[in-house]
Chain A
């Protein structure tokens, strides 16, 4: 009797089985990976802004303090975006003819607000409060990265729940001395564990369990 399957059939079968398994695995990798991909999160990608505001120039090279523009960062949930009027405190005097700043001048002259593209975004069901983080020793750069090196601003971190919980479960890992909060170059030192524990006591920060209650961020 003649063989039904030719000698290569086994190879094809194996290939099909392994191929199917690889496809299933690949599917999950793809589905799991896409939401966290740079494409989906936009981390590291700076959107175009009008005017093209540079944190590198203002905060880095000129050394203007964060709080000069983001005035409510120590008192409110939101850090605050400066009104046009704040831009013009300087730019009515310097670079007051620069074509790049025409949108700012127009905004003031026509009383039409600037429209900045939002860079850092949280879902609607997450309530983040800047003031309490800044007051308890979490520095700007822990979430926003070293904006002093950003020509146009990009999101430095993917604001997933895992990112938030990494800190809320181990608050000592990121705590800084009060004067280091505004330091964009800050990196945890070798003694961070000890420093963090000391600062937790000093700042009266509750236990990690308390900090990871759902009601801390969700309402």
Chain B
């Protein structure tokens, strides 16, 4: 080939076509020869090989180049002349005001179910997510997953192109390949074709798959969720003969009993259920009685920790406990050898006294037989239809993954399409999914990351994030939540619905067209209403009357897990911050402390004190867990909250692929799970052996376990007793003049009773205030940057460790000690009662931090924000300074929101309305534990909270006069159940 021949071939082509033609030649030997002939110096030679001299010369060049690169500023906003550029639109979109915030209704997904969100965008970039207050399930609250979904959206490790085997490919190539394949399957009615998805809650997607199944009747659809709600549905199937969602009306309840309860823990129910529970509890306390929570479990979670009457029972005794409770609550005889007899007696009596107004709940991970027992008990107590009710299930399941893997091993699967699942990681290793996948001729995987399944698949397709997709998933209550894109797809990608459309239809449609098609009944006005509100009103499932199904002889046999076998058991739980591993590459969630242990960046095995004594374990030691031949090495956490007959491990860690953040952290609990898990979801397995391996590296903790003592920190108000709150902190004499003010004084009140420790506020603060992720090493050195931390203290009056969660932002003290420490006045007061931190004035002496009794100041030691990936920089809130190295930073009460409200009020000459300014933490809180506002406005919620008899100041005796104050935790009157 000559130069002219190449030029002739390229002539007339432009743009993408020119590149395509060039690409076609780029790898050809002819072009290489041509280039080598004309440009002998150009390094198309292989860089590998060439010996030591070449290696050294390359090394020298790269060193020199590295030095040169350091000479210039590499700010992409600047051109070569080092001056900033302003780049306006060519045509400005009609509805868009540059730099003004715009809000779209959309949603976030937790384990397949939607929660309603309002997404704030600036200049077309989503920067913050809030709960949608109009959404009947979410009602303005959020959880940590929702807040962190922005990080997931901007995640630089997200899959960015179609892959075929191990090379990059593109969508047209995939579609061409699949068109032929699908024609072949159509001829065989889908024989050999399998579809694997998570359980689905999106009506339009389910409809699409049903149509595909109708066209290919021999195709089989499987669903797999590592956690999911399969056991809950199996439980109602046993009790009522059909799969149902169990819901609660806390507002009608007088007592709640939770057996291994998890309604306050991470999961799709968390946002809605914790708000309803807390609202009911608050109202009951105001009426002079307390909606008490009795909880029994072998391992601790947030529900267990928040209980007024908690008890720890051995895992093997849960079944016996359930039957004892049933007997005690229905007037039967309580056996002498019942586990936790006193607890059962009290809970049973309380339930019996509150017939029709009690709630008995059981964890989503308990076996169906036990769940059915609980349903029968609720029925017997007359609670069903009153405080407990049932609806259609929000998630649709299909055949399970175990059946699929068996068929794959038997060679009955020719092609497998895996959409938004990662079975190569999230199935028990003992099942051998990865090996079985090798026997499938055509494996198509669609996911947001190039994960363990992607690297083993023929095709990998990048999936869109929910924040860039159209969709209609249901929330737990059935409300159809309209997901709308808040930004153009960041990395290309398609949604699951769009991939299904590619497989099923000759002319693939985009997500919007698919939604229109599925909801074609709606008029244009309706459609606008749905998009504007982010939901379809009235789609929540109505209550479904239930009748107990006859107990089948098989179910009447002794409960499988109830058999009190000796020996150690393994309990498996989703991780409170990274869930089943889908959030493992999310830096915000990795650095988020686990609520009860304050461990970051790792999972661990929880063991009880008896077991620890027996094997000589201390927290932080390494242990080897073994079930038959499977072993994993784990760090252990020793706590009295754990029963001694079991070890709890969490999922989500030990990732081999799936992103730079996720890989290599913690251990993979799936490696230990028994093969039966994928079909039946055995969250509890016997035959566990544990041995000590020796000491291990320290955990990256944000609070030391020896600092869980609540003395002087947490006050507890017994309902009906004299108030424990006081204003002593504000009446001591002081030398200082009261700060002058212009009529406003911002303050915050945090209700310790309402805080469930869910951590939504911590992530919300991180998203709002550009707080960097620092990594495990820095956390270990005490350099975590969270402006708002949630301290955990124990609740000894419950007779069990328990937990009182105390969120600690900056106290904005009137007599702020930090202000005395600063030599340069970088921290000082303004006229609205805010303790300011002026970054550009700060010289980093850290004196303020040593003066601060609350330890809420954080020093940026290593320029943590400098290495933020460009995609994550796009999430930065433009109203908040991105702090550099050597600067102290702390909670500002979201001063940017206050300023925005102040400017709006100055412009309109109207005062700031009470409660119109919300800090990010207050807005995110699902239980409304945090109220913020102007204390000078007596109608504001914060001023009312400051008058509450439970109101007190943290370390008030120091006379710092904090503007952040607390409401005491609540406890039931003695003898009251």
Residues of A that sit less than 8 Å from B by CB: 47, 72, 75-78, 80-85, 107-108, 111-118, 121, 123-125, 127, 129, 131-132, 135-136, 204, 206-207, 209-210, 213-216, 218-219
* A78, B903: Cβ atoms closer than 8 Å: no
Bound Cα distance from A135 to B906, whole angstroms: 9
Interchain Cβ contacts under 8 Å between A and B, 20 examples:
A72-B99, A76-B97, A76-B98, A78-B99, A81-B88, A83-B91, A84-B89, A108-B90, A108-B91, A112-B90, A121-B84, A123-B840, A125-B839, A214-B836, A215-B836, A215-B898, A216-B899, A219-B881, A219-B892, A219-B896
Bound Cα distance from A179 to B38, whole angstroms: 69
* B899, A113: Cβ atoms closer than 8 Å: no
Bound Cα distance from A77 to B122, whole angstroms: 13
Q: What is the minimal beta-carbon distance from B621 to any residue of chain A, in angstroms?
A: 46
CB-contact partner of A124 in B830, B881, B899, under 8 A: B881
Those 7 A-B pairs whose CB atoms lie nearest each other, nearest first: A213-B830, A83-B89, A118-B84, A81-B88, A83-B92, A84-B90, A125-B881
| B window 62-119: CB within 8 A of A | 79, 81, 83-92, 97-100
Residue-wise, chain B 888-926 has the 8 Å CB interface mask toward A (1 for contact) of 000010011011000100110100000000000000000
CB-contact partner of B87 in A113, A218, A219, under 8 A: A113
* A72, B830: Cβ atoms closer than 8 Å: no
Q: Which residue of B lies closest to A74 (CB)?
A: B907
Q: Which residues of A contact B91 (CB under 8 A)?
A: 83-85, 108, 111
Bound Cα distance from A117 to B88, whole angstroms: 11
Tell yes or no: B22 within 8 A of A by CB. no
Tell yes or no: B515 within 8 A of A by CB. no
Q: Which residue of B lies closest to A134 (CB)?
A: B907
| B window 825-863: CB within 8 A of A | 828, 830-832, 834, 836, 838-841
Q: Which residues of A contact B881 (CB under 8 A)?
A: 124-125, 218-219
Bound Cα distance from A124 to B839, whole angstroms: 11
Tell yes or no: B716 within 8 A of A by CB. no
Q: Which residues of A contact B895 (CB under 8 A)?
A: 215, 219
Bound Cα distance from A78 to B839, whole angstroms: 23
Q: Which residue of B lies closest to A80 (CB)?
A: B98
Bound Cα distance from A76 to B836, whole angstroms: 24
Q: Which residues of A contact B838 (CB under 8 A)?
A: 214, 218
* B90, A210: Cβ atoms closer than 8 Å: no
Bound Cα distance from A47 to B839, whole angstroms: 31
Q: Which residue of A lies closest to B88 (CB)?
A: A81
Q: Which residues of B contact A204 (CB under 8 A)?
A: 906, 909
Most buried by B among A121, A125, A206: A125
Q: Which residues of A contact B903 (CB under 8 A)?
A: 129, 131-132
CB-contact partner of B830 in A83, A117, A215, under 8 A: A215
Q: Which residues of A contact B832 (CB under 8 A)?
A: 213, 215
Bound Cα distance from A117 to B828, whole angstroms: 37
Main secondary structure on B side of the interface with A = loop
Q: Which residues of B contact A72 (CB under 8 A)?
A: 97-100
Bound Cα distance from A3 to B740, whole angstroms: 72
Tell yes or no: B882 within 8 A of A by CB. yes
Q: What is the minimal beta-carbon distance from B384 to any residue of chain A, in angstroms?
A: 53
| B window 867-884: CB within 8 A of A | 879-882
Bound Cα distance from A129 to B907, whole angstroms: 11
Bound Cα distance from A219 to B81, whole angstroms: 30
Bound Cα distance from A115 to B77, whole angstroms: 10
Q: A132-B906, A207-B742, A215-B899 are in contact. Are A47 and B83 (CB under 8 A)?
A: yes
Q: Which residue of A lies closest to B828 (CB)?
A: A214
Q: Which residue of A lies closest to B907 (CB)?
A: A135
Q: What is the minimal beta-carbon distance from A171 to any residue of chain B, in angstroms?
A: 13
* B90, A83: Cβ atoms closer than 8 Å: yes
Residue-wise, chain B 809-834 has the 8 Å CB interface mask toward A (1 for contact) of 00000000000000000001011101
Q: What is the minimal beta-carbon distance from B883 to any residue of chain A, in angstroms?
A: 9
Q: Which residues of B contact A80 (CB under 8 A)?
A: 88, 98
Q: Which residue of A lies closest to B741 (CB)?
A: A210
Bound Cα distance from A113 to B87, whole angstroms: 6
Q: Which residue of B lies closest to A129 (CB)?
A: B903
Q: What is the minimal beta-carbon distance from A134 to any residue of chain B, in angstroms?
A: 10
Bound Cα distance from A47 to B84, whole angstroms: 11
Q: Which residues of B contact A206 (CB under 8 A)?
A: 742
Q: Which residues of A contact B831 (CB under 8 A)?
A: 209-210, 213
* B828, A116: Cβ atoms closer than 8 Å: no
Bound Cα distance from A147 to B820, whole angstroms: 46
Bound Cα distance from A190 to B381, whole angstroms: 87
Q: Which residues of B contact A114 (CB under 8 A)?
A: 87-88
Bound Cα distance from A62 to B103, whole angstroms: 39
Bound Cα distance from A214 to B896, whole angstroms: 12
Q: A72-B100, A214-B841 are in contact. List 11 more A-B contacts (CB 8 A).
A: A72-B97, A76-B98, A117-B85, A118-B83, A124-B882, A127-B896, A131-B903, A214-B828, A218-B836, A218-B881, A219-B899
Q: A132-B903, A209-B831 are in contact. Are A77 and B99 (CB under 8 A)?
A: yes
Q: Which residue of B lies closest to A205 (CB)?
A: B906
Q: What is the minimal beta-carbon distance from A18 to any residue of chain B, in angstroms?
A: 34
Q: Which residues of B contact A115 (CB under 8 A)?
A: 79, 85-87
Q: What is the minimal beta-carbon distance from A141 to any residue of chain B, in angstroms?
A: 20
* A85, B836: Cβ atoms closer than 8 Å: no
Q: Which residues of B contact A214 (CB under 8 A)?
A: 828, 830, 836, 838, 841
Q: What is the minimal beta-carbon distance from B834 to any residue of chain A, in angstroms?
A: 6
* A84, B88: Cβ atoms closer than 8 Å: yes
Q: What is the minimal beta-carbon distance from B31 to any residue of chain A, in angstroms?
A: 30
Residue-wise, chain B 496-518 has the 8 Å CB interface mask toward A (1 for contact) of 00000000000000000000000
* B88, A125: Cβ atoms closer than 8 Å: no
Bound Cα distance from A65 to B836, whole angstroms: 39
* B907, A116: Cβ atoms closer than 8 Å: no
Q: Which residue of B lies closest to A213 (CB)?
A: B830
Most buried by B among A72, A121, A213, A215: A215
Bound Cα distance from A115 to B85, whole angstroms: 6
Q: Which residues of A contact B740 (CB under 8 A)?
A: 209
Q: A76-B99, A135-B907 are in contact. Are A116 and B840 (CB under 8 A)?
A: no
Q: Which residues of A contact B907 (CB under 8 A)?
A: 131-132, 135
* B879, A219: Cβ atoms closer than 8 Å: yes
Residue-wise, chain B 727-762 has the 8 Å CB interface mask toward A (1 for contact) of 000000000000010100000000000000000000
* A118, B86: Cβ atoms closer than 8 Å: yes
* A218, B97: Cβ atoms closer than 8 Å: no
Bound Cα distance from A84 to B92, whole angstroms: 9
CB-contact partner of B742 in A108, A127, A210, A218, under 8 A: A210
* A118, B99: Cβ atoms closer than 8 Å: no
Q: Which residues of A contact B909 (CB under 8 A)?
A: 204
Q: Which residues of A contact B79 (CB under 8 A)?
A: 115
Q: Which residue of A lies closest to B896 (CB)?
A: A219
Q: Which residues of B contact A132 (CB under 8 A)?
A: 903, 906-907
* A117, B83: Cβ atoms closer than 8 Å: yes
* A118, B836: Cβ atoms closer than 8 Å: no
Q: A125-B840, A210-B831 are in contact. Are A76 and B84 (CB under 8 A)?
A: no
